C-alpha cells in the first residue's frame, strides 16, 4: 500500500483533531474527579480555566474545518491530482491547525487568526487543484 502525502497529512490531522480533547478533559478529571466528568453534560455546572475553555473552542473549530479539508484531501488522492503544491498544502494545513490550537488555548489572538487563514489558503489550494486551476 502506498500512502500519498495528502493521505498521510490528512491522517495526522484527523488524529490530532481527535486528540485535542485530552488536555482539557484531563484537567477536568484532575480538578473535579472522574465521576463528575463522566456524568451527563446536561447538568455540567463547573467553569473550566480560561485556557481549557479556549481549547474546547479550538477543538470545535478543528472539527468544523476538518469537514472541509478531509474531502478535499481525499479527492486529491483518489483522483490522482496530487502535486508538490497539494502535498505542501496538506503539510502546511496540519501544522497550521497545531499552531491554531496552541495559539487559541494560550490566548494569542494574532497567532490564532493567522494560522486559521493559512489553513483556509491550504484548503483553497486543494480545491483549485481539483478544479484544474493550479
Query: Does the pTM exceed 0.75?
Result: yes
Average pLDDT of every residue of the chain: 95
Please give the pLDDT value at position 46: 83
For the stretch 65-116, pLDDT in tens is: 999 999 999 999 999 999 999 999 999 999 999 999 999 999 999 999 999 9
CATH code where residue 38 lies: 1.20.120.550
Q: Where are the beta strands (DSSP E) in 1-119?
A: none
3-state SS record for 94-122? HHHHHHHHHHHHHCCHHHHHHHHHHHHHH
Q: Give the span between the Cα atoms of 126 and 64, in whole angstroms.
A: 17
C-alpha pair distances (Å), 61 with each of 41, 50, 54, 83? 20, 17, 11, 27
Residue 122's nearest CA partner among 89, 87, 83 is 89
Sign of CA dihedral 84, 87, 89, 95: negative
**Number of domains the chain contains:** 1
Parent domain of 120: 5-130
Amino acid at each position: 500500500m502506498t500512502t500519498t502525502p495528502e493521505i498521510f497529512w490528512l491522517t495526522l490531522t484527523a488524529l490530532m483533531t481527535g486528540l485535542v480533547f485530552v488536555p482539557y478533559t484531563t484537567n477536568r478529571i484532575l480538578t473535579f474527579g472522574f465521576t463528575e466528568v463522566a456524568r451527563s453534560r446536561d447538568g455540567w455546572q463547573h467553569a473550566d480555566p480560561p485556557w481549557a475553555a479556549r481549547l474546547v473552542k479550538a477543538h470545535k473549530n478543528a472539527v468544523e474545518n476538518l469537514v472541509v479539508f478531509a474531502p478535499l484531501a481525499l479527492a486529491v488522492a483518489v483522483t490522482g491530482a496530487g502535486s508538490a503544491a497539494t502535498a505542501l498544502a496538506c503539510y502546511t494545513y496540519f501544522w497550521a491547525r497545531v499552531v491554531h490550537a496552541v495559539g487559541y488555548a494560550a490566548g494569542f489572538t494574532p497567532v490564532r487568526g493567522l494560522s486559521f487563514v493559512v489553513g483556509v489558503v491550504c484548503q483553497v489550494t486543494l480545491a483549485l487543484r481539483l478544479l484544474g486551476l493550479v
